[in-house]
Amino acid sequence: MHCWSIILAAGSGTRLSAATNGVKKQFLEWKGAPLFWHSAITFSHTARVRGLIFVFPEEDLEEAKATLTKLDFGRRLGLPWLVVAGGARRQDSVYNGLQALPTNCSHVLIHDAARPFFSASLNNTLLDALSDGADAVIPALPVTDTIKVVSENTVSHTLDRSTLKACQTPQGFDKKKLLEGHNTSLAEGWEVTDDASIAEQAGISVTTVQGEAANIKITNPEDLAMIEQKQPAMPVPVTGWGYDVHRYGTGRPMKLGGIPIQGAPEVVAHSDGDVLLHALCDAILGCMGDGDIGEHFPDSSEQFDNISSGVLLNEVYDKFLQKGYRLTNVDLTIIAQVPRLVPWKPQIKKNICRMLKLTDEQVNVKATTEEKLGFTGEKKGIKAVAAVMALRG
């Protein structure tokens, strides 16, 4: 799955304009940032989201892009993003956003910027449903009020609320099928209120998952009070640093970043001896203030004899994500006189990106020598250092 998110912030906000002195609701300031930014932060805490498309009113496009650039200083989001102009209707704005998605994007989450209170957990629930094969999935809550059909102030009948659901965003879709639905919608002139409606009319099965009561949409003037009431903590930047060493000798075939290095010296190690992944584990643990790799996977335990360092990294990273952290950048350096590592760096980088679900721009792999000084210079061993930056939610 290669999923991007579209944040819809192209509305005119006419129902709120009097209460906000003409400021469109998506640009209202809350906790020092506009509402649309809070949705972006929540998506950035979802590891499987690979990028963001922001859809703004055409007349606000350049100003909004400049605001985003300032807010994302230092790659705070840790995600690539693009800005596109919206259309006359919500469905037109979504269509413009879909057109801007990269060709390798397979799935998309579409969200209204006026719902800033949703959680990364809801995103993951939607993505799990898409991974399990759903073509369209939306969050929904049971309707608690009695709903009546009224014509000219006269009740005609009462609906069975046991069959009714109140739907929210984000809504998740197979990108190709949703785009086909939008194309049909344009050709046949459909008028819809959300993308699930397009999916329904296009014959795409729409699955529901449990929504969130807190996922409220800012619509009317009285809703503005919610912005004052809710005070979610903004993410805190954190750093971690890792260092590891292995000596050469009869032992394990060399692996670096999970890649076997052919023709390299063997390393003496209890696990598979991947010095780079060990340093990376320590750096991630450092972000959490959670000790070091030796405390979690002691070399005195038979359980970890010749264990893949990729397995150790997966356990550390899973814990990291469950605690609400998100990696933004990883900088890795291998120090060795032998072997020559330049040919292997692209493969190592690609594998690190895969394991951490990061983009090429978020991972850097370097290799150097110590000019024949010290134990690495004497070809007695290899060492690695890792520096990572992350956000703590």
Amino acid residing at 209: V
Q: Which is nearest to 386 in space by CA: 238, 239, 272?
A: 239
Q: What CATH code is assigned to 236-392?
A: 3.30.1330.50
pLDDT in tens, 338-382: 999 999 999 999 999 999 989 899 999 999 999 999 999 999 999
Which pLDDT belongs to residue 229? 53
Helix (H) or strand (E) holding 137: strand 136-142
Residue 15: per-residue pLDDT? 46
Instruction: Answer whether 3-229 and 236-392 agree in fold.
Output: no
pLDDT the model gives residue 351: 95
Residue 83: the pLDDT is 96
Helices (H), the chain: 35-44, 61-71, 90-100, 120-131, 175-188, 195-201, 225-229, 275-288, 293-296, 309-322, 345-356, 374-377
- Please name which of 153, 152, 355 lies closest in space to residue 258, comparing C-alpha atoms: 355
- How is domain 3-229 classified at the CATH fold level? Spore Coat Polysaccharide Biosynthesis Protein SpsA; Chain A (3.90.550)
What are the pLDDT tens digits along the chain (393 aa)? 899 999 999 875 544 444 444 455 566 777 778 888 989 999 998 989 999 999 999 998 999 899 999 888 877 788 999 999 999 999 999 999 999 999 999 999 999 998 988 999 999 999 999 999 999 999 999 988 889 999 889 999 998 988 899 999 999 999 999 999 999 999 999 999 899 999 999 999 999 999 999 898 886 655 566 655 554 556 889 999 999 999 999 999 999 999 999 999 999 998 999 999 999 999 999 999 999 999 999 888 888 888 999 999 999 999 999 888 999 999 999 999 999 999 999 999 999 999 998 989 999 999 999 999 999 999 999 999 999 999 987
What pLDDT is stored for residue 299 in this prediction? 84
At 164, phi and psi to the nearest 5?
-105, 145
Look at residue 33 in the predicted model and tell me its pLDDT: 80
**What pLDDT is recorded for position 254?**
96
Check residue 71 and give its pLDDT: 87
Residue of 185, 282, 180 whose CA lies nearest to 241: 282
Cα end-to-end distance, the chain, whole Å? 24
Cis ω before 265 (30° cut-off from 0): no
Tokens of 289: 């203030």
pLDDT of residue 240: 97
Domain ranges of the chain: 3-229, 236-392
Q: What is the pLDDT of residue 22?
A: 46
